[in-house]
Amino acid sequence: MSCTEAKTLKEGNDFEKKHTPIIECKDIVNPEEIFEVKIHTAGVEHPMEDGHFIQFIGLRIGDIPLARADLTQYAKPEMVFHIKAPSKGHEGSVMKLTAYMYCNLHGIWKYEKEIKIE
């Protein structure tokens, strides 16, 4: 399994929506600000049952792994992480957040969001 082979929302059908993660967070942050990043499915809840469930949710900034939560079939496939924006001197730059969800039957899926540092 490679993150470079991750699938994403293309057609917008229910199958894609229950596998593709969505990132909810501020669009603009200040340097060193700690902000909340919520990751969940794209509008259709994924089944969480024996034999078919989201195994993990991961978050990266660029190519750097930032956080990962491993799940079982007894958990809801949604996570909230609190992350710190880059330090002063990065004003005006953009950081790319990438969320990953791994379904044990249908593989890895991703979603990207750019955050501006003001």
Q: Find out whether 18 and 44 touch, Cβ atoms under 8 Å.
A: yes
**Which CATH number is 18's domain given?**
2.60.40.730
Q: Write out pLDDT tens, residues 20-40.
A: 999 999 999 999 999 999 999
Please say if the pLDDT value at position 2 is more than 70. no
Q: Find out whether 22 and 41 touch, Cβ atoms under 8 Å.
A: yes
Our count of domains for the chain comes to: 1
Q: Write out pLDDT tens, residues 49-96.
A: 999 999 999 999 999 999 999 999 999 999 999 999 999 999 999 999
| Per-residue pLDDT at 3 | 65
Given pLDDT bands bounded at 50, 70 and 90, which one contains residue 15? very high
Domain span holding position 62: 3-117
| Per-residue pLDDT at 4 | 62
